[in-house]
Structure 1
Amino acid sequence: MGKITGFMEHERIEEGYKPVEERLKHYKEFVVALTPEQAKVQGARCMDCGTPFCNNGCPVNNIIPDFNDLVYRQDWQNAFAVLDSTNNFPEFTGRICPAPCEAACVLNVNDDAVGIKSIEHAIIDKAWEEGWVTPRPAKHKTGKKVAVVGSGPAGLAASQQLARAGHDVTLFEKNDRVGGLLRYGIPDFKMEKSHIDRRVEQLKAEGVTIKTGTVVGNWPKDSKVTNWAKNTVASEELLKEFDAVLLTGGAEQSRDLPVPGRDLDGIHFAMEFLPQQNKVNAGDKLKGQLRADGKHVIVIGGGDTGSDCVGTSNRHGAASVVQFEVMPRPPEEENRPLTWPYWPIKLRTSSSHEEGCEREFAISTKEFIGEKGKVTGLKTVRVEFKDGKLVEIPGTEVVMKADLVLLAMGFVNPVASVLESFGVDKDARGNAKATTEFDGGYTTNVPKVFAAGDMRRGQSLVVWAIREGRQAARAVDEFLMGFSDLPR
């Protein structure tokens, strides 16, 4: 694949970033993508490794060596055809996926992995520029109707696949715009929402009916959700009107931190903070937007959501930003012979961290401190592993100043009322209980009700949501037609 000796002749080329002082002034993307020539060089580094572990490292099983080779040969249109055959939305994953494929790259055993993600990014951007991404409506209709509930990456992928199979698909979304956490959880500086918008137009051209501002489920009339939603649809209505229902909502129940002082003003979930800025960027007028201007911000949670809070706080003009992680500081480099081809634990520094952030590891919050009902600080303690458990280190308690605390410790399960309204059984973690076996895959205990994405597997990556949406679409198609030509 590529150039036989390319991996020995060429080094990995990383995508660049625009200067920090420039990008902090706006919410636009700031990644400097590879040039066609740079992408060709990266494609040349792909080894003739015999067993491409990158394929299995990728949740959607992208045929990576093939499109690497095609980019090396500058056959961009066929490279896009290969990429498009396994991934409905490479422009999403090419921007925000952590690239488990690169961790699994054979070259990564003792060298720098092939820049697979940057090649994917280059392919799909060129495909859009050249007009190769076009609607593919079904040639024949089946007469079957499918309701897809939730328009995140799982719902979008499933809707597109089912529409291309000839079914009449209606996609329901409770928010005012399509995209789920792609739209309101991921900051615009990581992925501009125009990428979602043009995919929405593609889905409409392929026959998908989209209903935004519509809450599905048997919600109380005075609930917070039904107060801001335009429409509500009872689960019984969907079961009566549609031949199959696929639940693809997100795991939106944020993990809380129930310590003394939690009720003080100034302590918010990340998903209270991040969506507001995305709505403002989209042109919405918000009263009392939650902002970090001039504040000492502490972000509790060391993952991607916490990093997104860091980047947004810096763009607001925070006085300081500190990010907490309860786990010990990971090593700078992983032990590759031990971890390859699996996802390694190592220190990961995001572009948001580089923009200005102090990171604290092995630290736990014992109490929120406040004055006049508002948070002013956190009482913290250092922790360490002892006998397999995290325990406090005596004498390490300190109080850290904070005017705004953002809880970004992950999500525990989907909003329970949606599953309960359909009578779907839940697993021990509160997710929809559904098998992934292809024979009856993604089925729940309720006849003709399926579940996929974060609603089924719990909090996960966008690329996993796309995979589950595609596979669930095949399962629904088989249920409706007795067979399916959709790819697995």
Structure 2
Amino acid sequence: MGKATGFMEYDRQDKKAEAPKERIRNFKEFYKPLSEEEQKIQGARCMSCGVPFCQFGQMIMGMASGCPLHNLIPEWNDLLYHGNWEEAYYRLKKTNNFPEFTSRVCPALCEAACTCGLNGDAVATKSNEYGIIEHAYKMGYADARPVKVRTGKKVAIVGSGPSGLAAADLLNRRGHHVTVFEREDKVGGLLRYGIPNMKLEKQIIDRKIKIMEEEGVIFQTSCNIGKDKRASSILKEFDRVILCCGASNPRDIKVPGRKADGIYFAVDFLKSTTKALWANPEHELKEDTYISAKGRKVMVIGGGDTGNDCVGTSMRHGAASVLQLEMMPKAPDQRTEMNPWPEWPRVCKTDYGQQEAAAVFGQDPRVYQTTVKEFVKDKNGRVCKAILVRLESKQDAKTGRRMMVEIPGSEYEVETDLVLIAAGFLGSESYITKAFGVEVNARTNVSTNPGEYKTSAEHVFTAGDMHRGQSLVVWAIREGREVAEAVDKSLMGYTNLNIQ
């Protein structure tokens, strides 16, 4: 432990966010990092607990507590405090393939489980992680280290999201020949087209992909396995195959008027903006190249991270208004006695997009315990209104489960001419699972034995959202690391990857 009294002497200091009305003028990341000296002081606040829940990474009451990657947080916080940036980087990379991604987009499960947070402010671990990885790039610690010895084994990875990239990184380092197939025009999957530019600028992905290529990973883009190329040819060419295609089926809503123009899935809306931004060297939007919210009365259906991203993107487009629907009741502002530390805090979170909408329009865009009952079209077939209905929680007489049900007579009408459905994802796409002949469960996730990654098909493995269902980037990286270990053992009869 670097400074035994650091957590008492120093206040938490985090990266500063640009003011909401300023940052919506562009699609750039809007957090200003701390100086190296300020970052060292934040490292001093880490208590090096006897039981560091920050790196626990297990489920408590159905929710994750601490980092699923089991990052060695007290160790690299201590190294940071002492100014040993290089060794801090090596300790961080021991458990996390992509701190450049997680330090930007992870909701910081580690901080929610920090012991300092029990009676005060948690250590600024996510900010420290950002400082360590960016310093490593600056100083050259993160440069490519090509593999010197190859095993002769060939592995195909279908999908280049965080799980596929993590598996590729480890298996390549082990010495296997790794090829990643991606159906989109660029590598990154969810990181590229599911997360907006202001949360993760795409040159950060390109920077890491370039290093992986220099280290020997082969990326084939615009190649949709199961459509452009047969699964049978992949199985013949490669010794093992890993399916990391994500949870790609957006959940729809089935109400009258759903087929009206102007209603889109959130992922299509977000992807169109990202593609339009990167279609020209200036990284600026050009009219008629994307699904635009400019001047629109936007309704976002879904209160999660994707819904918030839709709100933030709409604000940058110049929306006339934004309304965000959430079926569930508003969470409490503070932990309740039923939600003690170190459980994940089930409290109301106001994210960047909601902050921006509140700053511009004067109020939080969210409406709770509300859903859509019907969409109304204008004479041109475009959505112009929505009939909303209030919901309440009631216990089902047969199952005993509590359900959100309509309140009779609570319907009301709102104007909207752009609707974005951010209601989550259902699981894997059938064409790819059928192509490889793998079994799926009732939720259409690819089936494996508990705690394992081998599918029902010979030599075929799976990981990430396609395996566990829609989840966080940090969980996808963990699954990518674990499937790499399983594949390595399958190929070699043993493994020395030592992922934890």
TM-score, reference length from structure 1: 0.94
Task: For 2:48 and 2:464, locate their aligned partners in 1 and report how far apart those are by CA, in whole Å.
Answer: 34
**Post-superposition offset of 1:337:** 7.5
**Post-superposition offset of 1:138:** 2.1
- Can you list the C-alpha shifts for 1:394-427, whole angstroms capped at 9, x where unaligned? 3321101101000001111011110111110001
Task: For 1:38 and 1:394, locate their aligned partners in 2 and report how far apart those are by CA, in whole Å.
Answer: 56
State which of 456, 464, 477 in structure 2 corresponds to 1:466: 477
Q: What aligned pairs does 1:336-485 form with structure 2 within 5 A after superposition?
A: 338-357=339-358, 358-372=365-379, 373-387=381-395, 388-435=402-449, 437=451, 441-485=452-496
1:245 is matched with which residue?
241
**Post-superposition offset of 1:137:** 2.3
Task: For 2:339 and 2:331, locate their aligned partners in 1 and report how far apart those are by CA, in whole Å.
Answer: 15
Contact 2:155 2:240 in 1 (8 A): yes
Helix, strand or coil at the partner of 1:313 = helix
The letter for the 2-side match of 1:412 is L
* Structure 2 alignment gaps of length 5 or more: 57-65, 281-285, 359-364, 396-401
The letter for the 1-side match of 2:42 is Q
Contact 1:369 1:378 in 2 (8 A): yes
**Post-superposition offset of 1:332:** 0.9
What percentage of residue pairs aligned between the two structures are identical? Answer: 50
Helix, strand or coil at the partner of 2:385 = strand
Contact 2:339 2:345 in 1 (8 A): no
Task: For 1:111 and 1:395, locate their aligned partners in 2 and report how far apart those are by CA, in whole Å.
Answer: 45
Paired residues in the alignment total 472
Task: For 1:255 and 1:337, locate their aligned partners in 2 and report how far apart those are by CA, in whole Å.
Answer: 31
State which of 128, 139, 153 in structure 2 corresponds to 1:119: 128
Contact 2:276 2:289 in 1 (8 A): no
Alpha carbon RMSD of aligned pairs, Å?
1.4
The letter for the 2-side match of 1:353 is Q
State which of 56, 59, 64 in structure 1 corresponds to 2:68: 59
Task: For 1:409 and 1:305, locate their aligned partners in 2 and report how far apart those are by CA, in whole Å.
Answer: 8
Helix, strand or coil at the partner of 2:95 = coil
Task: For 1:112 and 1:385, locate their aligned partners in 2 and report how far apart those are by CA, in whole Å.
Answer: 34
Task: For 1:369 and 1:334, locate their aligned partners in 2 and report how far apart those are by CA, in whole Å.
Answer: 40
Task: For 2:375 and 2:310, locate their aligned partners in 1 and report how far apart those are by CA, in whole Å.
Answer: 19
Q: What aligned pairs does 1:243-392 form with structure 2 within 5 A after superposition?
A: 243-283=239-279, 289-335=290-336, 338-357=339-358, 358-372=365-379, 373-387=381-395, 388-392=402-406
Contact 1:2 1:69 in 2 (8 A): yes
Task: For 1:377 and 1:337, locate their aligned partners in 2 and report how far apart those are by CA, in whole Å.
Answer: 40
**Post-superposition offset of 1:20:** 2.3
1:101 and 2:126 aligned: no
State which of 172, 194, 198 in structure 2 corresponds to 1:189: 198
Helix, strand or coil at the partner of 1:108 = helix
Task: Specify whether residues 469 and 54 from structure 1 end up closer, same or farther in structure 2 by C-alpha distance, changes over 3 A only.
Answer: same
Contact 2:298 2:321 in 1 (8 A): yes
Task: For 2:275 and 2:460, locate their aligned partners in 1 and report how far apart those are by CA, in whole Å.
Answer: 32
Residue range with higher mean Cα deviation, 265-274 or 380-389? 380-389
1:165 is matched with which residue?
174
Task: For 2:101 and 2:341, locate their aligned partners in 1 and report how far apart those are by CA, in whole Å.
Answer: 25
1:77 and 2:102 aligned: no
Task: For 2:120 and 2:481, locate their aligned partners in 1 and report how far apart those are by CA, in whole Å.
Answer: 33
Task: Specify whether residues 164 and 26 from structure 1 end up closer, same or farther in structure 2 by C-alpha distance, changes over 3 A only.
Answer: same
Moved over 6 A (4+): none
1:92 is matched with which residue?
101
Q: What aligned pairs does 1:126-137 form with structure 2 within 5 A after superposition?
A: 126-137=135-146
Contact 2:339 2:346 in 1 (8 A): no
Residue range with higher mean Cα deviation, 374-383 or 338-347? 338-347
**Post-superposition offset of 1:391:** 2.1
Task: For 1:203 and 1:84, locate their aligned partners in 2 and report how far apart those are by CA, in whole Å.
Answer: 14
Task: For 2:37 and 2:334, locate their aligned partners in 1 and report how far apart those are by CA, in whole Å.
Answer: 29
The letter for the 1-side match of 2:296 is K
**Post-superposition offset of 1:112:** 1.5
Residue range with higher mean Cα deviation, 349-358 or 388-397? 388-397
**Post-superposition offset of 1:386:** 2.1
The letter for the 1-side match of 2:266 is A
**Post-superposition offset of 1:78:** 0.8
